[in-house]
Structure 1
Amino acid sequence: MLKNILLLTFLIITINAASQNSVTNDSDKHAPIDTIWGREVKDTYRWMEDIRSPETLNWLKTQDTLRDKYKGEKLKSLTEHLKHYSTIYGKPIFKEGEYFFSFHHNIGATPSLYYNKQGFFSHDRFLFDPNRLDNSAVISIDEIKLSSDNKILAMLLSKDGSDWKTARLLDMETKELLNDTVDFIKYSHIYWYNNGFFYSKFDVHNTWESFSSIIKGEALYYHRVGTNQNNDLLVYKPTNEYDGFSFLVTPENKYLIIERTGSVYTRLSISLLNDSLIFENKDFIITNNKNIYYDVLGELNGKLLIRSNIYAPNGAIYQFNINAINQGEIFLPEGSQQLESSVIIDNKILCTLSSGKKSFALVVDSTGKLLYRWFIPDGNKFTHISGSIDDPLAIYYFNSFFSPSSVFRINLETFENIPVDTTYINFSNENITTEKVFYYSKDSTVIPMYLTYKKGIKMDGNNPVLLYGYGGFGKSMEPFFNPANIILFNNGGILATPCLRGGGEFPGWHGKGMRFNKQNTFDDFIAAAEYLINEKYTNPSKLAAMGGSHGGLVVGACMVQRPDLFKVVVAIAGVFDMMRYHLYNVGYGYTNEIGNITDSLDFENLIKYSPVQNVKNGVDYPATLLVAGYNDDRVNPFHSFKFLAELQEKGSRNNPYVLYYNIRGGHSGNTIFEERLNENAYIYSFIFKYLGMEKKIR
């Protein structure tokens, strides 16, 4: 809710031929050569993995002197356009306990938290400004959780975009911070129980460890309000320090659920919460199928409801007996549409489903009987649903590729369904449409793709197209709104978003694009580009590719494999060195998705597509912009440094290879609105410049 789609801020880094040669020659002399499964792998720029070293910092400083060389000529006017289009009169609203919360924009700072008790249309009152905590850093509120008695608000705070979080507690009556400080929280939510909360943390002594090595030893703790973190109760710690887990407290505050994920198994255990805080962690689900998910909804009719794809590729809801192993029965059967989310609200179940361009929601009672169904506009998708088990009020959001989020409320007793906050936009989107097309990938698999554009444009093969992809970790391609795309649409451009294998759009789709099947993901993206060219939507001189995180890997691998297809490529926070990714942070946790070179078969697969190792001498690669954040402790920025250096060393001089580096941003960028806007403007000015669109932009 706090994070928009595009990331990171300031510092553009590029290299000219003279400076490249001096760095390259010096690096080449001391380049380590690893022998991996009998093959020598040279790592010319390994020294860049120490992102704080004097050598790396000097390299960045040298490149900074050329940061403006490749900016678009219309950068200033584009920034003004984006500022205008980004001025959206509406605010995210959500409910915790008896309070309604929202975030309000601060000029030059991160958003502040506001609240009210009267309802959606009441005047918001100021609650907390995270910017007051540290004048030297960017502090943002990433998550809040209200205690069951509505007296204390727990806030997860992030510094300079890091994934590391610190929990602070706010007294809702006095509006003052308590002394409690809980550090080293990562990839964890907070769940209240009695006078404290559960959280997980890693066995580290400082947050910088994730940049220099792997972090491990995640464990679950319980913190009592008013005590020191050193005295927190250890609730659960895996026997294998590399094993991951997730946890939750069911909405009725009755059970603690722990989902443990090993290399070959998934186990769900349950503990009845009690005042003595003694937990038995009794297994009730055990599976060795890594493609099965379990989304615990809570207790209803004395049984635990779980949304899962076990025996139901499109998803179904099951009732599980917690006193036995793997004993469940169907509560809501699988349908022809994909069941995307389910929430227990007011002892009913609200579900969202999608089928093609259409998304809809339905409400069933405690027996599974259908009570109500409604659709949202074509091309839109639900993005957030919230509510509580003892209140009939639910809040939901949906958005599209050409419109920001709309916020609605629905009463599950009367089914009154109305907007709760009008979202005003400073542009016309009435003539923008999204259509769904299908194309064949390399192995003849049919791939769907969404095309968004302004009605009436001529499909003559000369339209600028932005091809955006992700295709990993079972994550579906969902509509996202970026105001810069309005400028693209208004100037005859098309946004193309294919549903790549590796995502979660269809049953089995994830497995067909993971690990040894990862090349399928790249083939799908390449085939999308070929389709757009062959069907006369565009041509290679008008085609841009973009992706972030895993999508950064996708566009990086595709530009190396098929540089002839793209004029410009933008990769944001991408993973590019597949020989070394697993040695930092929790990279070992991604091996089921990507693989690990410690396995000989994985190595043979990874070395074929790893972008850093596959840049060739003299190739005319597309104009390339890599975006990275100094505090990205999820995907280390050295991936972008090393890939950039390889491109600058070996690629032809016909196109630029540029880095946009955000010194105070993490994997999801900088949380200051103006910083995000400046970054977004630079990215799109780069794209528009090399697609020949600048003269059209007024």
Structure 2
Amino acid sequence: MSSRNRLAGRFGRGASPLGLLALVGKVAAAALVAGAAQAGAPTATKLKSAPAAPPTPIIAVSDTYHGITASDPYRWLENAADPKVHQWSLAQDQRTRKYIDRLPSRAPIFKWLMQQAAASSSAYYGLQTAGEQVFAMYNQPPKQQPMIAVMGQDLDPAKVRIVLDPNQISAQGTTAIDWFVPSPTGELVAVSLSDNGSEDGSVHIFDVKSGQQVDAVIPRVQYPTGGGSLAWRADGSGFWYTQYPGADQPAERQHFYQQVFYHRIGDDPKQDVYVLGKDFPKVAEIFLDNHPNSTAVLATVANGDGGEFAHYVIQQGGAIRQVTRFEDQVVATVIGPDDALYLVSRKDAPRGKLLKLKSGDYQLAHAQAIVAQSDAVMQSGGNLGSSAIVVTPRAIYLNELVGGPSRVAIYDHDGKPQGMLPLPDVATVNEVEALGNGALVYSIGTYLKPSYFARYDEKSGKGAVTKLVQTSPVNFDDTEVVREFATSKDGTKIPLNIVRRKGVKLDGNNPLLLNGYGGYGVSQTPHFLGAATRLWLDGGGVFVSVNLRGGGEFGEEWHQQGMLTRKQNVFDDFIAAGQYLVQQKYTSRARMASIGGSNGGLLMGAVLTQQPRLFRAVVSQVGLYDMLRVELDPNGAFNVTEFGSVKNPDQFKALYAYSPYHHVVDGARYPAILMATGETDGRVNPMHSRKMIARLQAATGSDRPVYLSINSHAGHGIGSSLSIRINQTADVYSFLFDQLGMKFPAK
């Protein structure tokens, strides 16, 4: 997800392990074949003194839902404040470290990944135009954290100047930028800063020329539950911002009930004026935007994570007008430079149609449909923020998905087609930014080439690559990406994006790593695969990413087929993908592993318990596993619109039917498993990983290891330092190399 002043995605959004697989190229289980007696099964390292799992007491607890009793033998592991839980977690992590640190591939993998990071070029993303300047996030390996940079509209990196370097705030890389928004003139920049991967941010105001902090710090503007955002007044004298209730409020309110306030530069934040939000849902997620039109602020309000949005216009004089409601199925809106509203609607158009409201008219019933639904999917604000629709004085630019890859279609203000932005084949565009001088700049991502920005001249209709080009010490000249389709349980065709070396033999002997996500309408799109995938290929492997239902690759119907009571479709799709790859002799069950994170971690847990003979090894990061207690956490409540609630009989039935924690079977021969979590994770409670590992360690009937890694200085992965991310990546690949019998390739 790439929204204008929110660099990180929500709970599952943006948490895919592809970010880990692409560690150096950019900014994480299933089940095992039973026993090692199967022909061709690899032999993992046998450590002479591999410690047993820490003893985990069972304290019988059960709950009754709609007449069904569910047991929870490890409820006590939910209490992170209990010293016994802390000691248990520490023992688990120490046991995991003893195994991983002694693997022969671990040290060379870490060293090689660190070398690639150090040799990678600087990278820019999150571009925002303000005045005559362009601001961007600036990643400069081997620095621990990205910075904020500013440059001219010529986008010359030689003229870049650093505005804020969080590495100078914390040398250990524990302070991170959640998001930033420059003032309209570019004189000031508002930045949300948080520590230790917590995403618990406060807004700081910096003078762009001096880099000095000015004005007061405003707390509680950002949290993983509803995120956070900010929009400046046109003259830069103040801004609207989101904020959560204070510490004086009951704990059950503190990460809900997000509201909008207005702050005038120089005032005491305690005197800031309430603007909007008291009547919003408890799980409202508010995104504020007035770019490029600063005469009014557009407030997009998400009803939790299920894909429902309402839209409000806050006028400079203070008047507030509601434009859409949740039931209207409008998923993206911007205010154009002509003061007209442009809206992507999915009502009677699951792939989207574009509506237009004339300046000053805020009645949705008056909207004119100017672009009809097509074979492509108009992207939503939830995925791309205001990069979903970009309107300039000359044209409209719509970011559209075509089953995974994307394109940007151009229309005039009346909806007449004007062509496409120039793109290579099988590419994706995550950012489109109008420079204000008759040109646009847009990002281009592909699987095999580092991302870069191109400039498009509106007058001539020509595009050209800018100097904002990433380089990588790894290349994929010997690699190809092929797209094939598996058939799911109900007959649905599921796309597989297969990354393989040219000429690979389909003899069933290739180690294969299968990744999926399938949730929130989030689409798995092409992006540079980076050093970790290069390492995997050089080790003889094949990497596959699956476009599962629950995502948005084929529109809202594709999303809805994998949410709420239809979530089982996602797991069926992933299982079908694994079976297809075995049938086509890309690999065998003894040579196949799977990896997923967050919502993808839930996927790993569900497939692991439903098909314990399909995969040889599993990596599951920051995952959900006890689906009956998800909604009790602050962030879990935001996911009710995506997963459902145990309070609803039909939704409880579906949740209980796939809840991984409740479907671990004593004596089942489970695969090798590595789970990872962070103690400061505000998106997925670490208790899920603690309870699931305890249950698996007690139940497994195989001799495969079941390990848990817990990092006390990391959260959901967003905002983690470079060293933490590289260490985690090295852990994952040394584990997989060991379990699949792979060797570190000579470098």
- Show CA shifts across 1:393-428 (max 9, x none): 322112223332122222223334222223322123
Task: Tell me whether 681-690 or 489-498 shows the greater mean CA deviation.
Answer: 489-498
- In the other structure, the counterpart of 1:178 is 214
Structure 1 residue 392 corresponds to structure 2 residue 438? yes
In structure 2, what residue type is equivalent to 1:119? D
- In the other structure, the counterpart of 1:229 is 269
Task: Tell me whether 329-338 or 501-510 shows the greater mean CA deviation.
Answer: 329-338
8 Å Cα contact 2:402-2:554 kept in structure 1: no
- In the other structure, the counterpart of 1:5 is 19
How high is the sequence identity, in percent, across the aligned residues?
27
C-alpha separation in 2, matches of 1:111 and 1:297: 28
- In the other structure, the counterpart of 2:507 is 460
Deviation at 1:243, TM superposition (A): 4.5
Aligned partner (choices 336, 345, 349) of residue 312 of structure 1: 349
- In the other structure, the counterpart of 2:121 is 89
8 Å Cα contact 1:204-1:215 kept in structure 2: no
- In the other structure, the counterpart of 1:11 is none
**1:183 match: secondary structure:** strand
- Show CA shifts across 1:354-374 (max 9, x none): 435764333333333344424
Deviation at 1:132, TM superposition (A): 3.6
C-alpha separation in 1, matches of 2:694 and 2:352: 45
C-alpha separation in 1, matches of 2:593 and 2:457: 44
Change (3 A) 1:37 1:439: same
8 Å Cα contact 2:376-2:401 kept in structure 1: yes
- Provide the alpha-carbon RMSD of the alignment: 2.8
- Show CA shifts across 1:655-678 (max 9, x none): 111122221111124532222111
Aligned partner (choices 553, 567, 580) of residue 505 of structure 1: 553
Change (3 A) 1:307 1:464: same
- In the other structure, the counterpart of 2:43 is none
8 Å Cα contact 2:122-2:141 kept in structure 1: no
C-alpha separation in 2, matches of 1:560 and 1:274: 55
**2:140 match: secondary structure:** strand
**2:336 match: secondary structure:** strand
- In the other structure, the counterpart of 2:630 is 581
Structure 1 residue 691 corresponds to structure 2 residue 740? yes
Structural mapping, 1:259-298, within 5 Å: 259-260=300-301, 268-271=310-313, 273-275=315-317, 278-279=318-319, 281-286=320-325, 288=327, 292-298=329-335
C-alpha separation in 2, matches of 1:79 and 1:99: 38
- Show CA shifts across 1:423-444 (max 9, x none): 3221231221111111210111
Structure 1 residue 369 corresponds to structure 2 residue 411? no
- In the other structure, the counterpart of 1:23 is 56
- In the other structure, the counterpart of 1:253 is 294
**1:65 match: secondary structure:** helix
In structure 2, what residue type is equivalent to 1:92? Y
8 Å Cα contact 1:215-1:584 kept in structure 2: no
Task: Tell me whether 666-675 or 576-585 shows the greater mean CA deviation.
Answer: 666-675
In structure 2, what residue type is equivalent to 1:101? F
Task: Tell me whether 565-574 or 319-328 shows the greater mean CA deviation.
Answer: 319-328
- Show CA shifts across 1:233-253 (max 9, x none): 111124365241424343312
Change (3 A) 1:18 1:373: closer
- In the other structure, the counterpart of 1:637 is 686
8 Å Cα contact 2:216-2:266 kept in structure 1: yes
- In the other structure, the counterpart of 1:200 is 242
Deviation at 1:259, TM superposition (A): 4.0
Structural mapping, 1:32-111, within 5 Å: 32-71=61-100, 72-86=103-117, 87-92=119-124, 94-97=127-130, 98-102=132-136, 103-105=138-140, 107=142, 109-111=144-146
8 Å Cα contact 2:646-2:652 kept in structure 1: yes
Question: Which is bigger in relative contact order (C-alpha 8 A, separation at least 6)?
Answer: 2
Quick check: which one's strand share is greater? 1
In structure 2, what residue type is equivalent to 1:5? G
- In the other structure, the counterpart of 1:614 is 663
- Show CA shifts across 1:300-350 (max 9, x none): 655311123233332222113534243321222222222333212344222
Deviation at 1:584, TM superposition (A): 1.0
C-alpha separation in 1, matches of 2:476 and 2:55: 50
Deviation at 1:287, TM superposition (A): 5.1
**2:613 match: secondary structure:** helix
8 Å Cα contact 1:629-1:669 kept in structure 2: no
8 Å Cα contact 2:92-2:709 kept in structure 1: no
C-alpha separation in 2, matches of 1:663 and 1:21: 19
8 Å Cα contact 2:623-2:688 kept in structure 1: yes
Aligned partner (choices 360, 363, 369) of residue 407 of structure 2: 360
- In the other structure, the counterpart of 1:165 is 201
Deviation at 1:679, TM superposition (A): 1.1
8 Å Cα contact 2:51-2:95 kept in structure 1: no
Aligned partner (choices 687, 694, 714) of residue 665 of structure 1: 714
Give the gaps of 5 or more residues in structure 1. Answer: 9-13
C-alpha separation in 1, matches of 2:430 and 2:109: 28
C-alpha separation in 2, matches of 1:693 and 1:262: 46
Structural mapping, 1:182-581, within 5 Å: 182-186=218-222, 187-193=227-233, 194=235, 195-205=237-247, 215-239=255-279, 242-251=282-291, 252-260=293-301, 268-271=310-313, 273-275=315-317, 278-279=318-319, 281-286=320-325, 288=327, 292-299=329-336, 301=338, 303-320=340-357, 322-340=361-379, 341-356=388-403, 359-388=406-435, 390-420=436-466, 421-480=468-527, 481-507=529-555, 508-581=557-630
* TM-score, with length taken from structure 1: 0.91
Deviation at 1:81, TM superposition (A): 2.5
